[in-house]
Structure 1
Amino acid sequence: MTVVCLIRHGETEWNAVGKLQGRENIDLNKSGKQQAEKCGLYLRENRWDVIISSPLSRAKQTAKIINQYMLKPVKIIEMENFIERDYGMASGLTIEDRVKMFPNRNYTNQEPRELLKTRIITGLNIILKKHANSNVILVTHSAVINTILALISNNEIGSGKTKLFTACISSIYYDQEQWKIHKYNKIDHLQTDSQ
């Protein structure tokens, strides 16, 4: 069985003020670094074989911090398949500005949803091929995680239905020729004090 622990990156200043982040390289803020530490502490006791990260700095920083807390640090691999969705002209805008400029949510130059789905499915297939029967941590972004959840749940959860918290943990696994959801959008680990 292949297990993938999906982690949304920790908080950035743009998250804190409600700006939409696409492909911009925005670093974690102090709170985001603490969230990543709490993820690492929560996950450290389990056996992990690899960490896969989006190439964007907020995800890479989260992955590196998590790895520092592992009892046995593992290799970190960057995969473009799991980069955040490109929101085009809406990137960097607050929700208020987005509603004014794009009331129908059709953002100019946004990555098409079908392209997003295709690259994510390709990425999951690469994980199955290269990391079969492994325990994988995947540090990525809300649009990617929501797309994965929507694909697996036949749109019962995920895109348009689930607002993911920063540094939340979701878990999926591949068994008997299909992906299944174990849990999603969990933040219990963030409620504890850091060591």
Structure 2
Amino acid sequence: MTLLTLVRHGQTDWNLARRIQGTTDIPLNETGRDDARRAAAALADERYDAIYASPLVRAQQTAEIIADELGLGSPALTRGLRERTFGEGEGMLVEDYLKTWSDWTSAVPGAETLEEVRERALDSLERIVRASRRRSAPRAESIIVVSHGGVIRSLLMHVSGGSLPRVGDSLHNGSVHRFVAEPGTLRLLETIPV
């Protein structure tokens, strides 16, 4: 068993403006750095063995702040944890995106589907878990993974059979979701208030 704690990156200026970032590389703003520190404080009572992050700068910066606050080594970067590619929707204001394509599951030219995001994220998490088992067998490891709203949303939908997140639920910057990974299985344990 491996405990995976997924954290959404802190706020960026594009989050604040409600602009779709996708794989556009936008850094944290000051509120985003505070989000990362709050996430670290919420995680401080547990032991963690490693930290991983998406290679996008907002996730890297969040992971570096958390690692520093918790005394962990530098985050390992994992490409499969990057945000969903939004194709022609990238850079648009959310309001304009929804006017153009009506919802988040529409076929946007050049965009990844939520299923594609889920599959690459699950593949990355499985590689992280395999590496954890090699390092720690037979002891269970606890790992922090800093990623993005689209990735975490796709994983929540996967483990809940589509019932989570509920319609209208938003995954806040710095939000924390704890999963248990066992061979062939990923399940949600809890969402930790931040």
TM-score, normalised on structure 1? 0.88
2:114 corresponding residue in structure 1:
113
1:177 to 1:106, Cα distance in 2 relative to 1, 3 A: closer
Q: What letter corresponds to residue 43 of structure 1 in structure 2?
A: L
Instruction: State how far apart, in whole Å, the 2-side matches of 1:98 and 1:176 are.
Output: 38
Task: After superposition, give the CA deviation of every residue in 1:48-75 in whole Å (9 maximum; x if it has no partner).
Answer: 11101000000000000011111x3234
CA RMSD of aligned residues (A): 1.9
Task: Give the CA deviation at 1:175.
Answer: 4.4
Asked whether the 8 Å contact 2:107–2:113 carries over to 1, the reply is no
| Matched residue SS, 1:16 | helix
1:100 corresponding residue in structure 2:
99
Asked whether the 8 Å contact 2:177–2:190 carries over to 1, the reply is yes
1:11 corresponding residue in structure 2:
11
After the TM superposition, which of the residue ranges 169-178 and 52-61 deviates more from structure 2?
169-178
Task: After superposition, give the CA deviation of every residue in 1:134-175 in whole Å (9 maximum; x if it has no partner).
Answer: 100000001110111111111111386642011001110124
After the TM superposition, which of the residue ranges 123-132 and 168-177 deviates more from structure 2?
168-177
| Matched residue SS, 1:131 | helix
2:136 corresponding residue in structure 1:
none
1:192 corresponding residue in structure 2:
none
1:124 corresponding residue in structure 2:
125
1:176 to 1:80, Cα distance in 2 relative to 1, 3 A: closer
Within-5 A mapping of 1:20-31: 20-31=20-31
2:54 corresponding residue in structure 1:
54
Structure 2: give runs of 5+ residues left out of the alignment.
134-139
1:42 paired to 2:49: no
Instruction: State how far apart, in whole Å, the 2-side matches of 1:85 and 1:177 are.
Output: 23
After the TM superposition, which of the residue ranges 27-36 and 113-122 deviates more from structure 2?
113-122
Q: What letter corresponds to residue 118 of structure 1 in structure 2?
A: E
1:86 paired to 2:85: yes
Q: What letter corresponds to residue 46 of structure 1 in structure 2?
A: E
TM-score, normalised on structure 2? 0.88
Task: After superposition, give the CA deviation of every residue in 1:55-112 in whole Å (9 maximum; x if it has no partner).
Answer: 0000000000011111x32341000110000001111111221133223543221013
Task: Give the CA deviation at 1:40.
Answer: 1.6
| Matched residue SS, 1:47 | coil
Count of residue pairs the alignment pairs up: 186
